[in-house]
Amino acid sequence: MSDLEFIKSLKSYRDKYNRDRLPENIFLYRLFSKLESKQSIENKDIIIYFIGNQVYANYFQKNKDFYYCYYKIYSVLKSEFGLNRQKITRLIQGMVDDYLKLEIIYIELMNNSRMKQFC
pLDDT at 17: 45
Q: What is the DSSP string of 44-108?
A: TTEEEEEETTEEEEEEETTTTEEEEEIIIIIHHHHHHH---HHHHHHHHHHHIIIII----SEEE
Per domain, the residue ranges of the chain are 3-116
pLDDT at 39: 95
pLDDT at 21: 54
From first to last of its 119 residues, the chain has per-residue pLDDT tens of 566 666 666 666 555 544 555 788 888 888 988 999 999 999 999 999 999 999 999 999 999 999 999 888 999 999 988 999 998 998 898 888 888 889 888 888 886 555 555 56
